[in-house]
Amino acid sequence: MKRTLVVFAILLLTISALANGWSVTTRYYSIPNDKSTERIEQTFLLNGYMKMVNGNLSTIFNLEENQIIYINNVNKTYWKGNPSKFNTEVRAELEIMIEEKLYGIEKEQQEVMRAMYNEMIDASFPTTTPAEQRARTFSAHKEKEGETISNYAATKYKILEEGLYLESLWVTKDLPISNDFNFIDLSQFLNQLASGAYATSFESSNQYFKLIEGGYPVKVQIQRGDGSVQVSEVSNAERVNLTPTDFSIPKGYRPGSLSDVGVWDGYL
């Protein structure tokens, strides 16, 4: 019996040693509850790689090679490129989608709607170098320790931007994910997709990186202008064994456009 327990203990240690990455399951929902906006996303993290699985679409960030991969697991298509290629192709495809959407609408109304859509596109994917973003001031105020979120002990923080309420954040030290994954590298990568705008966000600030040091945000709650509340909440997280192959394109999949893989379904 003793020998069996020893073998079992060694096996557990071996499995633990092989578990070099993380699998995190997050539930997104709103208050009041709106089933149409609720979704479950599974994220896989290995230092230098991030993969998010949301329904039929998988999104992969390869931070070491500065690449994005989108994979549609239904029609077996994929798109691969760097942030510059992504921004250029997204803008071009959205402009085509706008014209298709405006077909058959009265001319005067077309101009109004076209201007509105183009403003949205310009804000996210400008064709000229945007002006330098003004640095914002954030502060984190501890509100309560010892709260439990999905069985993880967490500390609640109130986040202020320029002195005004921005969001509430719960951080746990039970999940030392930031010890294994470089979130600063991720922030710098994402900033390329937002033409500098992401650099001024709270998630790209030193205050944020300090809060999640040695831990992970298990819940985020944001108050919207219409009075509703948007929530993201980790339901499960565990160490798993991952390799770079887990972040590659499956065999037999064919290249396609961003529209083919369904990146912008429901955008307009």
Q: Which residue has the tokens 């456009």?
A: 257
d(CA 4, CA 10): 10
Q: How confident is the model at residue 62 (pLDDT cuts 50, 70, 90)?
A: very high
What is the model's pLDDT at position 15? 40
Please give the structure tokens belonging to residue 89.
């192709």
Residue 256 lies in a domain: no
Q: For 15-26, what is the mean pLDDT?
A: 77
30: left (phi over 0), alpha (psi -120 to 50) or beta: beta
Residue 163 lies in a domain: yes
What is the layout of strands, in order, in the sheet containing 138-149? 138-149, 152-161, 164-172, 216-223, 229-240, 21-31, 39-46, 49-54, 57-62, 67-72, 77-81, 254-255
> For residue range 105-152, what is the model confidence (pLDDT) as tens digits?
888 888 888 888 888 777 767 666 655 666 788 999 999 999 999 999
> For residue range 67-116, what is the model confidence (pLDDT) as tens digits?
999 999 999 999 999 988 988 888 888 888 888 888 888 888 888 888 88
The DSSP call for residue 174 is S
Residue 206 lies in a domain: yes
Number of domains observed in the structure of the chain:
1
Domain that holds residue 211: 138-240
CB atoms within 10 A of CB 239: 17
| pLDDT tops 50 at residue 6 | no
Residue 250 lies in a domain: no
| pLDDT tops 60 at residue 4 | no
| pLDDT tops 80 at residue 46 | yes
CB atoms within 10 A of CB 251: 5
Q: pLDDT: is 129 or 256 the higher one? A: 256
Kindly tell me the burial class for residue 2, based on how many C-beta atoms sit within 10 Å of its own C-beta (0-12, 13-18, 19 or more).
exposed
d(CA 119, CA 126): 10
| pLDDT tops 80 at residue 162 | yes
Residue 5 lies in a domain: no
Please give the structure tokens belonging to residue 83.
């942030």
**Closest CA relative to residue 205, chosen from 154, 135, 101:** 135
Q: For 23-50, what is the mean pLDDT?
A: 90
Residue 72 lies in a domain: no
Q: How confident is the model at residue 13 (pLDDT cuts 50, 70, 90)?
A: very low
d(CA 139, CA 135): 13
Q: Are 174 and 217 in contact (CB under 8 A)?
A: no
Residue 187 lies in a domain: yes
Residue 203 lies in a domain: yes
